[in-house]
Amino acid sequence: MAHATQPASAMQALLGALSLPRRWRIGAGPIIAAVVLLVIVLSALLAPLYVPYDPMQMNSLNRLQPATADHLLGTDQYGRDLFSRIMIGGRVSLLIGVGAAVFSVLVGLLIGLVSGFFRIADAIIMRIMDSLMAIPAILLAIALVALNGPSVWSVIVAITIPEVPRVVRLVRSVVLGAREEPYVEAAIALGSGMFGILWKHLMPNTLPALIVQGTYICASAILTEALLSFLGAGVSTEIPTWGNIMAEGRTYFQVNPGLIFWTGAVLSLCILSINLLGDTARDMLDPRLKKREA
């Protein structure tokens, strides 16, 4: 992935001409990933304006059709067009991915800053985080959704809670390293307020790592949404999401496997692209990691 192939060489030349640092030069992989992701996001965003068929329109004469010229990816058990449903379904799936990423990062950042800076709080917070990490994320998430009801909001919360400890650990480790830096000591000596120091001097250090972590959480949240729906503990079934489309496809798997395979393929492509972009961002933001991994 780190190697440029032909299509990217023009891009490479361009970046070279701009004399960007070497680590900012990217290969073909991330560019393809960005394009794929853009297509998926745009088709989800624009779905209310245009879809080939009404994704809710049932047609009993047209049930469980394989892919044809009329219905690009076939139809489901109610004769609804799969292609249109995948377009619409992406909205909620992507919303859950982005929502879970944003909330995990925000909550994790706040707890991590406190934990890294105040030693007394640290011991208690880290024990709680260790315990949360010991509970299998998927069980915790299904239990939370089962208790709080199948709304989009409760799915986002259910996915966020198990992700928070990892963000806290990350933020804490960065803060622990930065806390002893001379500029922080200087700020303390000058009598700056604790929260000013946390926000102005320590928080910016965590941003590169958080951006990378956020993309990974976004990808894994989209995956978890699919698992939750598949197990019957996701967003309520009348709302199309990628997970719900596949969950409904289970019963009819032997008649029309496309319901699971096409939706799964789109979802996997989306996750793959987000992960690839996350890797690229990590390599650009943290050259030390790249050296170790590559």
Query: Is residue 219 near other proteins by the rule CB under 8 A?
Result: yes
Let me know: does 282 contact 289? Beta carbons within 8 Å. yes
Query: Is residue 143 near other proteins by the rule CB under 8 A?
Result: yes
Let me know: does 64 contact 81? Beta carbons within 8 Å. no
Q: Of the two residues 100 and 187, which places its CB atom closer to other proteins in the complex?
A: 100
Query: Is residue 227 near other proteins by the rule CB under 8 A?
Result: yes
Q: Of the two residues 78 and 261, which places its CB atom closer to other proteins in the complex?
A: 261
User: How many residues touch other proteins (CB under 8 A)?
Assistant: 44
Query: Is residue 267 near other proteins by the rule CB under 8 A?
Result: yes
Query: Is residue 257 near other proteins by the rule CB under 8 A?
Result: yes
Work out which of 208, 211, 268, 290 binds other proteins, going by CB under 8 A.
268
Query: Is residue 135 near other proteins by the rule CB under 8 A?
Result: yes
Q: Round to whole Å and give the CA distance between 55 and 112.
A: 43
**Binding to other proteins (CB under 8 A): which residues in 108-127?**
127
Query: Is residue 137 near other proteins by the rule CB under 8 A?
Result: yes
Q: Round to whole Å and give the CA distance between 171 and 194.
A: 17
- Distance in Å, CB of 47 to other proteins, minimum: 22
| C-alpha 256 chain-centroid distance | 29
Q: Round to whole Å and give the CA distance between 284 and 16.
A: 15
Q: Which residue has the tokens 């995956």?
A: 223
Query: Is residue 281 near other proteins by the rule CB under 8 A?
Result: no
Work out which of 205, 275, 285, 286 binds other proteins, going by CB under 8 A.
275
Q: Which residue has the tokens 């489309």?
A: 245
For residue 226, give the nearest of 271, 277, 166 by alpha carbon. 271
Query: Is residue 134 near other proteins by the rule CB under 8 A?
Result: yes
Let me know: does 2 contact 30? Beta carbons within 8 Å. no
Stretch that binds other proteins, among 5-13, 66-74, 105-113, 266-274 (CB under 8 A): 266-274
Q: Round to whole Å and give the CA distance between 156 and 164.
A: 12
Work out which of 15, 31, 231, 239 binds other proteins, going by CB under 8 A.
231
Which tokens belong to 75?
């139809």
Q: Round to whole Å and give the CA distance between 229 and 243.
A: 5
Which tokens belong to 212?
């990378």
Q: Which residues bind other proteins (CB under 8 A)?
A: 1, 127-128, 130-140, 142-144, 146-148, 219, 223, 226-227, 230-233, 246, 253-254, 257, 260-261, 264, 267-269, 271-272, 275-276, 292-293
